[in-house]
Every structure is written in structure tokens, then in C-alpha cells.
Amino acid sequence: MKVVLVDAGGSNIGSVRYALQRLGVDAELTGDAQAIRDADRVILPGVGAAAVCMARLKELGLVDVLRTLDTPLLGVCVGVQLLFAHSEEDDTPCLGLLPGQVRKLAVSTGIRVPHMGWNTLQRTRDASLLDGIADGDHAYFVHSYAAPVDDDCLCSSDHGQRFAAVVQRGNVAGAQFHPERSGAVGARLLKNFIEYGLQ
């Protein structure tokens, strides 16, 4: 089983890699197109701004590689936002593997943005990626932008509004929360992705 982490420049890459090592998986960090194509599982992490991450992918020549990948692909944090068609953040065109637009979370009374901390997951449909993760389990979030709750949403969460916490369409999936900081829930999501792919 060859697992690679796409070097999109996110500051959480080291912690995601360590979370995988705890599962017995030594994931290669790479910006090499052929290494990504040859992998059995591909993880796209990211922290910071969508525009910066997309610029990094363009610089490495990886945009079309990711768009045409047949291998199971998991986006994490900003990585999941890059899977969508567009992000409101800096008006950024993204990979377009999932339809829809990532939008900024709305500030309201008692609701601070960025959304930081533990929050509950509400399952919206079954998938192997969620095996062992129950409705009401908690995950750790740090984000200001989020994807919509639509037919591709496996789990939602709420921070003044509902947003997609886990998404999947075919061989493309993503988690808005940080699995590497979400304890047993995050470890289970990564384990499911490694073991099952995206059936």
C-alpha cells in the first residue's frame, strides 16, 4: 500500500504524516506527478489560504494530475475546499472535482469566525469512510470557509449555519475538520480511508 501526501504547502503536513505513522503508514510527502499517479491512496492536506495552495499546485504542475486521478483522494481542511469548483476566498478557482462553491462562514451574535474547536458531527448518509464514526461524535475544526451541505455531504456540522464536515463523490472525499487533531474519530477516518479506499 503506497500512500502519498501532496506537498501543497500546508503547515499541517507534518502532523498528518505523524497521524498516519501512528496507524503504521509511512506516507511519502511529494510534489512529483508520477509518484502521485502511482500511489494507492492520495491525501491532499492544506492550511492557510485556498489561493496560496492552488498556486502551489499550479507551480508543481499538479492541477491536471489531481483532476484526472483514478486513485482514492482525500482532502483535509483547506485540502477539502480545493476539491470544489470555486472558493470565495480571494475569488479562487479550485480543482472542480466536486460541484459547488466554498463560502465564508457568517459572523453573528455568539458566532466567531474562524470556527475553532471541537464540534459534533451529524451523519447524513452511510459510507465506508465513516465506519465506526457515530452520529454526535466530536471532531476538531479550524476554518473560516466551508462547503455546502448537498448530495455529496456524508457528515455536517453547525457553526451558526450547517456546513459540510465530510464529503464524498466517487473516488474523491474530504474532511473539513483536522483528523490529525481529532483523536479517535480522526484516526478512524484515516484508517478507513487507507483500508477501504472510497467504496
Residue 180 among the catalytic residues: yes
In the set 53, 94, 155, 180, the catalytic residue is 180
The cell for 152 is 455529496
In the set 77, 94, 153, 155, the catalytic residue is 77
In the set 115, 143, 159, 178, the catalytic residue is 178
Residue 77 among the catalytic residues: yes
Task: Name the nearest CA neighbour of 190 among 180, 177, 18.
Answer: 180
- Contact 182/190 with Cβ under 8 angstroms? no
Residue 86 among the catalytic residues: no
- Contact 105/161 with Cβ under 8 angstroms? yes
For residue 29, the SS3 value is strand
DSSP-assigned letters across all residues of 43-55: EE---S-HHHHHH
Q: Name residue 63's amino acid.
A: V
Catalytic residues: 77, 178, 180
